[in-house]
Amino acid sequence: MSPVSQRNRETDSAQLPDDQPALVAVRDAGVVRNGRLIWEHVCVDVAAGEFVAILGPNGVGKSTLLKSILGLVPLTSGEIRLLGHAPGRANHQVGYLPQRRTFDASLRIRGRDVIRLGLDGHRWGIPLPGRRSRAAIARVDELIALVDAGAYADRPIGQLSGGEQQRLLIAQALARRPRLLLLDEPLDSLDLPNQAAVAALISRICRAEGVAVMMVAHDVNPILAYLDRVIYLGHGGAVSGIPAEVITSATLTALYGTPIEVLSTSDGRLVVVGQPEAPAHHSDRHGGQP
C-alpha cells in the first residue's frame, strides 16, 4: 500500500490514472503527550471513498490518531498528509464527530440549527436573508433527508434519543460535503438496533456521497459487513488490511507481543480474546498512583 501514497506525496495529491490517490497518508508517525508515548512508527493510508475502522484496546490512542490527522494533536515524529496538505490545513474538507456524551436534556436548540452550524457556524455575524441563506436552508433540508431525520429535526436536540442525536450530528459533519469523515465511536452508547441502523447509514453515505470514512470503534461487529479495511493500532505501530487478514490470532499476537486469540461465532461475529487493556509497560502514565 505504501508505494501508492509515496508516489502521491511526491506529486502532491495529483490524480494518478492507475490508482486512487491517498486522502490520508500517515508516515512513521509518533505522538508523545505529557511525557508518555502514545504510539510510534504508525503508517496508514486511506483512499477516497474507503470505509475504514480504527480498532485497538482502550488507551491505545485511537482518538489521538484522529486528532493528529486534524492537526489538533501535534506529531512528535514522522509525518501526516491530509489531501496533500499538512494537518490542520485542509480541515474544511473533513467532517469530524468527536467522542461525546449526549446533549444536556435542557438544551433547547433545534436539530436543524445544529446541522446548520456545521455549514456556516464558523462565520462571523448573523446570517442575513438572501441567496446564500436560501442555499443553506436547502442544504440543511437535503441533509435531514439524507440521515432520515425529518420526523424530529425541528425538535430541541436535548429531548431526542441518543440515536436521533447521532444521526443529526452525522448530518452536521456532512454539511460542507467533506471528502473525509472522522468518526470517534459513533455507535458508543447506542442500543443494538440503533447501532446496526447508524452503521448502515454511515456505510450508505460513504458509498452514495463518495466520502471516505475513518471510524474509531471498540467493537468491529456492527460494521464488519460494510468495512473495506481495518487498522489495528498498537503502541509500536499499526497493521492495516482487509478484516479477514488483520483480525487473526497471528497478526494481533505479533502486533501486541502477547498471546491473542480471535474466535469466530457461528453467525460470523468476531471475538478477540486476550487483548491487552491498559498497557503495563507504560505505567508511568499515572504517575504516583499504584
Partner 1 sequence: MTTSLALADPIGVLTHPFAQHALLAGTAVAAAAGLVGYLLVLRAQVFTADALSHVAFTGALAALAIGLDARLGLFALTVLVALGMGALGHRARPDDVIIGGVFAWILGLGTFFLTVYTTTRSAGNGAAGVTVLFGSIFGLDAARADVTAVIAAAVCAAVLVIARPLLFASLDQAVAAARGVPVRLLGYAFLTLAAVTTAEATQVTGALLILGLLAAPGGAAARLTARPLRAMGLSAGIAVASVWIGLTASYAVPALPPSFAILTVATLGYLGAIIATRTRRRKVKFRLRHS
Binding site for partner 1 (CB under 8 A): 70, 72, 91-92, 94, 96-98, 100, 103-104, 107-110, 113-114, 117-118, 120-127, 154-156, 172-173
On the 0-12 / 13-18 / 19+ scale of CB atoms within 10 A, 285 is middle
Nearer to partner 1, 158 or 236 (CB): 158
Nearer to partner 1, 122 or 281 (CB): 122
Cα separation, 159 vs 152, in Å, equals 10
Question: What is the rounded radius of gyration, in angstroms, for the C-alpha atoms of the chain?
Answer: 20
- Please give, one letter per residue, the 3-state secondary structure of 218-238: CCCHHHHHHCCEEEEEECCEE
3-class secondary-structure state, position 282: helix
Nearest CB to partner 1, comparing residues 154 and 245: 154
Q: What are phi and psi of 278, to 5 degrees?
A: -60, 120
Which CB, 168 or 252, lies closer to partner 1?
168
The residue to which cell 508516489 is assigned: 7
For the bound state, the minimum distance from the C-beta of residue 290 to partner 1, rounded and expressed in Å, comes to: 27
**Smallest separation (angstroms) from partner 1 to the CB of 61:** 16
Supply 282's cell numbers. 507504560
Comparing CB distances to partner 1, the nearer of 91 and 195 is: 91
Q: How far is the CB of 121 from partner 1 (least distance, A)?
A: 3
**CA dihedral over 182, 84, 70, 39, signed as positive or negative:** positive
